[in-house]
Amino acid sequence: MSGGINLSLPPGGILVSLGADLIEVERVRGVLTRHGDRFLDRILTDEEKAYCSSMGAPHKHIAARFAAKEAISKCFTTGIGAEFGWKTASVYHGSRHEPLVRLDAQGQALLAKVGATHVLLTLSHTETYAMAVAALVRA
């Protein structure tokens, strides 16, 4: 807690796992140019597609979500595949525009399996890179 703002994070939570990913924004822009909606439909939920397309430079936000899903999959030690798919996690924003994660049923089962209760996420991007750091915590 900082400056009297309640961050709604689990107090006294235990870190279960940590994952990070860094991707070149231009790489995502290239794939987007070559594959368009087919690429977006494969990796983003409808909610994520709507958000990214509303932004002035959608490819940066798409890259950040790509990195987020990779980082979260690293927390679960599964990578992207059968156990954790591209749409297992959806990134959305809280009331202060902080990135939050919504897991589908498969993701919730993984969360319980590793003994965690929350996924915390931070994102950042520049013209060149997008990055994400994810943490699984138990409250």
> Could you state, in order of their start, the residue ranges of all structural domains in the chain?
24-138
- What number of residues does the chain have? 139
- What's at 91, amino acid-wise? V
The candidate with the shortest Cα–Cα distance to 33, out of 59, 66, 53, 65, is 59
Radius of gyration for the chain, computed over Cα atoms and rounded to the nearest angstrom: 15
Class of domain 24-138: alpha beta
Q: What is the chain's pLDDT, residue by residue, as a tens digit (139 residues)?
A: 234 333 455 566 899 999 999 999 999 999 999 999 999 999 999 999 999 999 999 999 999 999 999 999 999 999 999 999 999 999 999 999 999 999 999 999 999 999 999 999 999 999 999 999 999 999 8
Question: Using CA atoms, how far apart are residues 20 and 12, in angstroms rounded to an integer?
Answer: 22
Q: Is 15 left (phi over 0), alpha (psi -120 to 50) or beta?
A: beta
This prediction has a pTM of 0.90
* Two structure tokens written together for 30: 């290239």
